[in-house]
A and B are shown apart, each in its own frame.
Chain A
Amino acid sequence: EDKVVQSPLSLVVHEGDTVTLNCSYEVTNFRSLLWYKQEKKAPTFLFMLTSSGIEKKSGRLSSILDKKELSSILNITATQTGDSAIYLCAVEFNSGYALNFGKGTSLLVTP
């Protein structure tokens, strides 16, 4: 059973649209949730969330954690073709610092 589930698995939008990506996780020994963006190379870090209800923001991207619902969302406003990528959600459980990754959401932004 997957510990981290992302939805949707893929998404196609037009430039300028706003998208919301979802990530849910199991409750066991949660420490932090991270979002990464992966283009045709290694994942690059976007956000780390540890506290519920506090929005993290970077330009057109924002993310928030809901510990009660065991979930997080990643929002991208005014999407651009450069936002096309796989967005990965990862959760750190307990100690050891290893991350459990979801399968990712593949986002395609068309002109």
Chain B
Amino acid sequence: DVKVTQSSRYLVKRTGEKVFLECVQDMDHENMFWYRQDPGLGLRLIYFSYDVKMKEKGDIPEGYSVSREKKERFSLILESASTNQTSMYLCASRSATDTQYFGPGTRLTVL
């Protein structure tokens, strides 16, 4: 079974803090993704990566950056958290020929 894990299920941070969300997959997938999910807006793609050290902007990259130093790990970074970044963050991974598998999500609250 594919396993995608995220470092935290729930996280509370203060405005201006630097926030790291970690995602690890164990299936040697080339492609990894970060989404945020908000009521009424659905899932929106923030960034994705198709290889180590490679990254591509998604639909809403502003205020975020990512890091992929190892194939199995994809990190999402909020350089200076703001209240409008309060959301559910979902990581996903896939190979070229398979479907996309999601992690359990991190519910981030920025106060």
Contacts and interface: CB of A to CB of B under 8 A. Distances in A.
Given A98-B45, A103-B41, A103-B42, A43 B102 contact: yes
Which of A41, A98, A103 counts the most B-chain CB atoms under 10 A from its CB? A98
Interface residues of B, number: 23
Nearest to B32: A97
Contact of B105 (A42, A44, A90): A42
Given A42-B90, A42-B103, A45-B101, A98 B43 contact: no
A110 B23 CA distance: 36
Contact of B42 (A42, A98, A102): A102
10 contacts: A42-B105, A43-B102, A45-B100, A96-B48, A96-B56, A98-B33, A98-B56, A99-B45, A100-B45, A103-B40
